[in-house]
Amino acid sequence: MMIHSGDDQAEPQAKIVLRPIIGLTGGLPKSALEPIVIEAIRKHRYLREVAEMRHAEASQHPAPEGAPNAAMLAYVRAMIDVHAQQTVLSTLLDVLGHVPETPAD
């Protein structure tokens, strides 16, 4: 669980782990877990690419001050997906114990 003190400079934030993922995958053999982790890495890469496209779109169509437009909201949603997947991936990598080789698509 993440602890937020309100002052991001004062103390480092605790690492977020997803205990249900640890419970689901902790007993799997590494040979079964590694393909799951590779799939999560690929999904994270895809979501990051989508977020980069949404950012470019939002940059081309700036919102009027104080009112986010559809392009900016699409970027925000894409970044939420990226961060959520990063938490999943980080947890899976902790369970696996290493970063598997994952070729670029």
The CA-atom distances, in angstroms, between 11 and each of 8, 16, 30, 58 are 6, 15, 35, 33
Global pTM value: 0.82
Q: How far apart are CA 102 and CA 31, in angstroms?
A: 15
* Structure token pair of residue 29: 């053999």
* Structure token pair of residue 88: 């999943």
Strands (DSSP E) contained in 38-92 are: none
Whether residue 7 is predicted with pLDDT greater than 70 in this model: the reply is: no
Model confidence pLDDT, tens digit, residues 14-72: 888 899 999 999 999 999 999 999 999 999 999 999 999 999 999 998 878 878 899 99
Helix (H) or strand (E) holding 87: helix 70-96
pLDDT-based confidence at 1, cuts 50/70/90?
Answer: very low
Q: How far apart are CA 50 and CA 83, in angstroms?
A: 13
